Structure 1
Amino acid sequence: MTASPDTTAAGTVDAARTDYRDKVLAVEPGGNEPIPLEARHGKPRGLFWTWAAPNLEFATIFVGVISVAYFGLSFWQAVFAMVIGNVLGAIAHFLLSAEGPLHGVPQMVLGRLSFGYRGNILPATFMAVMCGVGWFATNSVSGAFALSTLCGITPLAGLVLIVVIQTAFAFFGHNLVQRFERLAAPILAIIFLVGAMIIFGKADVAMGSAEGGFSMGGFLLTMGAAFGYTAGWTPYAADYTRYLPPTVSRVQTGLFASAGLFVATTFLMVVGAASMTIGGVESDNPTEAFTANFPGFVANLTLLAIAVGAVAANAINVYSGAMAFVTMGFKLPVGAQRALVSVFFGVVGFLVAWWALADAAASYEAFLLLVAYWIGPWLGVVFADRLLRKEPPSLTLLYDRSYTNWGGVAAFVIALVVSVLLFCNQERFVGYAVRAIPELGDIGAFVGFVLAFVGYVILARGRVESSQGR
């Protein structure tokens, strides 16, 4: 088979990749090409910090806040629902992270197996827009509010500063992003641990729910929101394990990545839920309302941690959003295509975040569930493909422009549309099944996963079998 344009381009950056290796203050070359063996480096244990740092931030706390304040659960009901959602998301992250060292390619390139080269543009677009831009904007807002309170500046000024810093990290690429996450994680963990002790010292965790009993609808909404948050990182998974040598343990790779994700998300979501049992200051600035529970010095440290945590999260969001965009097949200068796209996403994300400053809470609640709607069907298709595929794919297949798998695209679209129409639970649209049975809460992501998984097995089994050995 003749080389595709992607593989030809890959050959032109192999030398640059090898030279880049473990340099930190250097712009990562290329885009979505495979990482050559000579450029592989690192150990799985570093992944714990890579995935802990971006989740030690206010957006994670806010999942716990809305579970009590908006979904009407008691503290312990919220904890149970969030743990279930986080466990499911962490399991998915374990499985996808473990594949990175074997193939040496980004997660969205691996997605071409399930959707085909052209069909993969659809989920890559979802990821680039909803994760690379949406998550970027969401986290930028919390960082902007934190800087506004800490420094006495306007939220817009804080937003500009936050966006510039996090876009710069993503511009330089993989190694600087990884190094920053590993340096930031222990510091953020200590600050938030101090804050957590103060919160639990004041919290009334035995307080009942706002509804006076158990709300199945609120429970499922919380579980879906937690799953949407944690599983929202899964389309990035292999992006941060593809530089590891192929000889590293797949179990350790998946375990360290998923453990960092689960520990950080669960810890801060629980803190967020506990903070709502205190009662306290109401403010249009959610970070100010949260830190009002702390003495001055701790409040300032926590605000700084919120700002740093936003940068940690968005360095990854912009980087992987750019990787997804490049995977869609746009023609850009080979040597710097990912870096250029990172700047583009930084600009677009800033504009979206600016718009969201007006009503951060409502925007965040809706966005969490929107992420889950497409993540569920996407995971269903991807995992069904892995189950049917008996041998590892060749790199040739991953970069073959003629390879199609329309059964995967059909399974994804059908599952997405059906699950949203029936089980969506948003302010502007409530699914038909939820209208009839409000206790369903929002199970769209989970229904979407099952429908997509079954649909792929039915529609794409033959295509997977015919592509084996290519």
Structure 2
Amino acid sequence: MPFGRVSSGLPTGGGRAVFDGRMPTAPGDLRVEGHGIEPVPQDNRYGGAGRLFTVWFAPNLTMTGVFTGTLGIVFGLDFATALAAVVLGTVIGAVPTAYLGTWGSRTGAGQLPLARLAFGRAVALPGVLQWASSVAWDALIGLFGGDALAQLCGWPFWLGVMVMMLGQGALGVLGYEAIHRLQILMTFVLAAAFALIAIRMAGDVHVVTSGSAHGADRAGAFVLTSTVALSLTLSWAPYASDFSRYLPRTTSRSRMFWYTLLGLVASFLAVQILGLWGASVLTDQTAAGVDQLLGGGVPGSLGLLAVALAALCSNAMNDYSGSLALQTIGVRLPRPAAAALAAALGFPLVLWMHAADTTARFQNVLLFVGYWIPGFVAIVVVDWLVRREPVTDLAAATAGPRRAWPPLLAFVGAFAAAVPFMDTGLYVGPVADALHGADLSYYVAFLVALAVYAPLRLQEEKNA
């Protein structure tokens, strides 16, 4: 098949029409994108690799990242040690995300639709998890965005969250190009806002030079802090090619990789360093801490507005990718409606997180939404590398019966193997406990999935 119309192998007729639809035609085309998980034809591709920097930079300048940064100090580390842990985890998690993002231009397909190459019909399992994760991320980020909006406008918390969800849902409905254009603008706006926060902190806030954790406890806290940072950048992996699927097939893969990696690492390190630095003033009530830090008045209001806008940018991407995940598992709901649904479901989860111990619930949700991702990444990467030729026809590549049990065995086995290594407020595995809180579950899950799936997939390819 030529590089023009690349079919996904989805049902024809009315069922397939739900997954197809109007596509943006050029930069700045802000009409509603009705296009779902059908691959984007080559004739409809546009844009350059440079837009991947802004689409992965702006959405991470959120108070979620700042609050995550404070956890290193909460775990008992000093600033320098916590910083080293954050840098390590951030880079490790960003590499697979940047690599997966290069697949979008090669296939015109989103990340979960591409996972059918490896999982076949069994893609329903990671698809459901991805959809649920997108809703959970709506809550993690909307918690701070809604709080900031409520304080800025003098509204009750629930109303701030509701307005936040309506705004992000609208962007998710508009789709791919609207999100890309917003992130270009917000890269400059949010970078300036967070720079203002850093300048204000420079005079009033001092870093923590000594921590309460020592010896083995300090090593455990280092690993846990690194894993939390890793979970942030790796959490974008199941979304990665969703935001590169309209790029032309000829787009440089190396440029795509480096622009994505730089956007992820630079943004996440910026906000987490602010969190480490300002841990003494940026508490559970993070929006209030920002307002107080900036001295209230106009600077404080601008800071709160930036927090709200940052949440809007990030959650619009959650809703967009959530809509593609929902279609991937077979739900015949138009993409715009699926995006609106994800935003609506995030609302009660935000209220639940806000109702009690925010720190504990935040950490629990943050880690649990990502425990499945390392195994998923290992499986789809192995399948991609084992294929003899590049995927240019998704329908042909997914045609015919595929054994569901090898990827399912690796996927479930990876998660099961990781359970003893987990460390959350709800559950601490025996290995994590013995290692003084060190959470190695992400690494274990990846390696187990790799060890189980790789020989099975290689044997399958040999027999083909």
Using the size of structure 2 for normalisation, the TM-score is: 0.92
- Asked if 2 retains the 8 angstrom alpha-carbon contact of 1:18 and 1:38, the reply is no
Q: Does 1:369 align with 2:373?
A: no
Change (3 A) 1:440 1:114: farther
The residue identity in structure 1 corresponding to 2:115 is G
The residue identity in structure 1 corresponding to 2:456 is L
| Inter-partner Cα distance in structure 1 for 2:403 and 2:11 | 16
Q: Which deviates further from its counterpart, 373-382 or 165-174? A: 373-382
CA deviation profile, 1:205-252 (whole Å, cap 9, x unmatched): 361112256711111111111111111011100000010000110111
Please state whether the residue corresponding to 1:351 is helix, strand or coil: helix
Question: By how many angstroms is 1:111 displaced?
Answer: 0.9
**Counterpart residue number, 1:381:** 379
The residue identity in structure 2 corresponding to 1:285 is Q
Change (3 A) 1:466 1:287: farther
**Counterpart residue number, 1:99:** 103
| Inter-partner Cα distance in structure 2 for 1:23 and 1:330 | 30
| Inter-partner Cα distance in structure 2 for 1:195 and 1:237 | 29
Q: Does 1:427 align with 2:425?
A: yes
Q: Does 1:439 align with 2:436?
A: yes
Alignment of 1:208-219 (within 5 A): 208-211=210-213, 215-219=218-222
| Inter-partner Cα distance in structure 1 for 2:189 and 2:24 | 31
| Inter-partner Cα distance in structure 2 for 1:107 and 1:6 | 19
CA deviation profile, 1:52-90 (whole Å, cap 9, x unmatched): 111011001111111212x11111111111111110111
Question: By how many angstroms is 1:406 displaced?
Answer: 2.3
Question: By how many angstroms is 1:123 displaced?
Answer: 0.7
**Counterpart residue number, 2:252:** 249
| Inter-partner Cα distance in structure 2 for 1:423 and 1:154 | 40
| Inter-partner Cα distance in structure 2 for 1:54 and 1:350 | 19
Alignment of 1:297-316 (within 5 A): 297-316=298-317
Q: Which runs of 4+ in 1 moved over 6 A?
A: none
Alignment of 1:340-379 (within 5 A): 340-359=337-356, 360-379=358-377
Alignment of 1:158-197 (within 5 A): 158-197=160-199
Change (3 A) 1:21 1:424: same
Alignment of 1:245-324 (within 5 A): 245-276=248-279, 279-280=280-281, 285-296=285-296, 297-324=298-325
Q: Does 1:112 align with 2:116?
A: yes
The residue identity in structure 1 corresponding to 2:66 is I
| Inter-partner Cα distance in structure 2 for 1:272 and 1:401 | 50
Q: Does 1:55 align with 2:60?
A: yes
Question: By how many angstroms is 1:104 displaced?
Answer: 0.5
Q: Which deviates further from its counterpart, 191-200 or 399-408? A: 399-408
CA deviation profile, 1:146-170 (whole Å, cap 9, x unmatched): 1122222111110011000000000
Change (3 A) 1:440 1:465: farther
The residue identity in structure 2 corresponding to 1:375 is I
Alignment of 1:194-233 (within 5 A): 194-205=196-207, 207-211=209-213, 215-233=218-236
Q: Does 1:82 align with 2:56?
A: no
**Counterpart residue number, 2:4:** none
| Inter-partner Cα distance in structure 1 for 2:42 and 2:331 | 26
- Asked if 1 retains the 8 angstrom alpha-carbon contact of 2:48 and 2:251, the reply is yes
Q: Which deviates further from its counterpart, 443-452 or 349-358? A: 349-358
Please state whether the residue corresponding to 1:24 is helix, strand or coil: coil
Q: Does 1:450 align with 2:451?
A: no
Change (3 A) 1:166 1:351: same
RMSD: 2.3
Count of residues in Structure 1 that have an aligned counterpart in Structure 2: 455
The residue identity in structure 1 corresponding to 2:224 is L
- Asked if 2 retains the 8 angstrom alpha-carbon contact of 1:10 and 1:33, the reply is no
Gaps of 5+ in 2: 2-6
The residue identity in structure 2 corresponding to 1:301 is L
CA deviation profile, 1:391-449 (whole Å, cap 9, x unmatched): 223312455374344211110110101111x10112222112123x1335111011101
The residue identity in structure 1 corresponding to 2:54 is W
| Inter-partner Cα distance in structure 2 for 1:187 and 1:220 | 33
Question: By how many angstroms is 1:184 displaced?
Answer: 1.1
- Asked if 1 retains the 8 angstrom alpha-carbon contact of 2:122 and 2:408, the reply is yes
Please state whether the residue corresponding to 2:293 is helix, strand or coil: coil
**Counterpart residue number, 2:417:** 418
- Asked if 2 retains the 8 angstrom alpha-carbon contact of 1:188 and 1:309, the reply is yes
- Asked if 2 retains the 8 angstrom alpha-carbon contact of 1:281 and 1:292, the reply is no
| Inter-partner Cα distance in structure 2 for 1:34 and 1:21 | 17
The residue identity in structure 2 corresponding to 1:295 is G
- Asked if 2 retains the 8 angstrom alpha-carbon contact of 1:165 and 1:311, the reply is yes
| Inter-partner Cα distance in structure 1 for 2:441 and 2:19 | 42
